[in-house]
Amino acid sequence: ATFNLLLLPGDGIGVETMVEVERIIDFFNRSGRATFNTQSDLVGGAAYDAHGVAITDAAMDKAQKADAVIFGSVGGPKWADVPYAVRPEAGLLRLRKDLGLFANLRPAICYPALADASSLKRELVEGLDIMIVRELTGGVYFCEPKEIVTLENGEKRAIDTQIYTTSEIERIAKAAFDLARKRGNKVHSAEKHNVMRTGVLWKEVVTEVHRSYAPDVQLEHILADNCAMQLVRNPKQFDVIVTDNLFGDVLSDEAAMATGSLGMLPSASLGAVDAATGKRKALYEPVHGSAPDIAGKGLANPIATIASFGMALRYSCDMGAEADLLDQAIAGVLAAGYRTGDIMQSGMKQVGTAEMGGAILDELKKL
């Protein structure tokens, strides 16, 4: 099969880690398992510097036509003062919104070799495997009014709005329950129904959707603040967590850090399946950010971006077997002791971005 990929390395370490993804793509192309046609474009600060916007219409057009977008990272101190509408993050937000990528899948997995790297005690994270399903096209991220106005008394007044409708909650709930069926059959739905009306509706709709999945999939409602606690207290109690855009942002970062494997974690952002073509829009990106402090130095861990390509194989290319191979290759280099600075442990072999990418490639060739 042939797949069209759009690579958007973005800013900071995204640029370096994407190079390693290209080597992996190249390997799959030459192995004859599939044909990946790749295009690249700018996003974030890089797009702003070149075009004055965080992503051009032309790049958006390529993204619309691609089978999958592989995204690096955006932002950095260089663009701290650019206007709000064209700040680096606006490129990513436009991609999510315009491609309709409502389901953000964020695995929080503890790689066994890295259990000791977690801040949490080893027994709490060893074997940890959570999937956070974050709503990605609604909520406070996108709803209007969203503005700052100057009042008559000279003060400013800022407003953000969170709106959720029944159907928006339904589709993300279904995504979560479907995933849970293929995993541990347990979903926690996190919201603040005790103070937010969107939380009340969230709880109500998730409960309703659950009826079609009961009794084999279990549902528990949890307040978002309690969820933040429980992710520290005992993260292994979770299988799938479904939550809104803003809570998902905070809770998934917390969970990712708890695993000790932050630099390793990929994510997938998926749209609805088109009834006519059977396809869906998708974007894959590492959970980590642009890490301006180490950018351009060849030190970044490319695993999260490579694993994001792995998720693309699985979710956009129906190449689950190849995705497994890639996961095995990553596990292999870790077992062999290769570590970038972010996951360095004593007695291991510290390598840079290119060496880590190369090691994974070598491992792949052996499989």
| Residues designated catalytic | 141, 192, 225, 249, 253
Which residue, 93 or 311, has its beta carbon nearer to ligand IPM? 93
Which residue, 196 or 348, has its beta carbon nearer to ligand IPM? 196
Stretch (H or E) spanning 358: helix 353-366
Which residue, 213 or 247, has its beta carbon nearer to its own copies? 247
Residue 346 — φ and ψ, nearest 5°? -65, 140
Q: Least distance (Å) from ligand IPM to the CB of residue 228?
A: 11
Is residue 342 a known part of a binding site? no
- What radius of gyration, in Å, describes the C-alpha atoms of the chain? 20
The answer to whether residue 249 forms part of the interface with ligand IPM (CB under 6 A) is yes
**What's the distance, CA 333 to chain centroid?**
23
Residue 113 DSSP one-character state? G
Measured CA to CA, the distance from residue 40 to residue 324 in angstroms comes to 26
Is residue 41 a known part of a binding site? no
Is residue 87 a known part of a binding site? yes
Measured CA to CA, the distance from residue 338 to residue 138 in angstroms comes to 40
Which residue, 3 or 91, has its beta carbon nearer to ligand IPM? 91
Residue reference for tokens 């994974």: 360
Measured CA to CA, the distance from residue 269 to residue 96 in angstroms comes to 8
Q: Residue 76: CA atoms inside 13 Å, Cβ hemisphere, count? A: 22
Which residue, 199 or 360, has its beta carbon nearer to ligand IPM? 199
Task: Kindly indicate which of the ranges 46-54, 85-93, 113-121, 174-182 contains the residues binding ligand IPM, using the contact rule CB under 6 A.
Answer: 85-93
**What's the distance, CA 290 to chain centroid?**
13
Is residue 301 a known part of a binding site? yes
Q: Given candidates 10, 75, 263, 357, which one binds its own copies under the rule CB under 8 A? A: 75
Interactions with its own copies, residue window 79-118 (CB under 8 A) = 84, 87, 89, 93
Measured CA to CA, the distance from residue 106 to residue 252 in angstroms comes to 7
Neighbours of 151 (CB within 10 A): 8
The answer to whether residue 253 forms part of the interface with its own copies (CB under 8 A) is yes
The answer to whether residue 110 forms part of the interface with ligand IPM (CB under 6 A) is no
Q: Least distance (Å) from its own copies to the CB of residue 233?
A: 5
The answer to whether residue 156 forms part of the interface with its own copies (CB under 8 A) is yes
Q: Least distance (Å) from its own copies to the CB of residue 112?
A: 18
Stretch (H or E) spanning 108: strand 103-109
Interactions with its own copies, residue window 113-152 (CB under 8 A) = 119-121, 124, 140-141, 143, 146-148, 151
| Amino acid at position 247, single letter | F
Is residue 86 a known part of a binding site? yes
35 binds, among ligand IPM, its own copies, none (CB under 5 to 8 A by kind): none
Question: Would you state the structure tokens that stand for residue 200, as one six-digit string?
Answer: 């009340």
Measured CA to CA, the distance from residue 209 to residue 221 in angstroms comes to 13
At residue 234, the 3 state secondary structure works out as coil
Residue length of the chain: 367
Q: Least distance (Å) from its own copies to the CB of residue 222?
A: 12
158 binds, among its own copies, ligand IPM, none (CB under 5 to 8 A by kind): its own copies
Residue reference for tokens 């709709």: 205
Question: Would you state the structure tokens that stand for residue 89, as one six-digit string?
Answer: 């993050």
Which segments are annotated as binding site for Mg(2+)? 225, 249, 253
- Please give the residue ranges that form the binding site for its own copies (CB under 8 A): 75, 84, 87, 89, 93, 119-121, 124, 140-141, 143, 146-148, 151, 155-167, 192, 194-198, 200-202, 204-205, 224-226, 228-234, 246-247, 249-254, 256-258, 262, 289
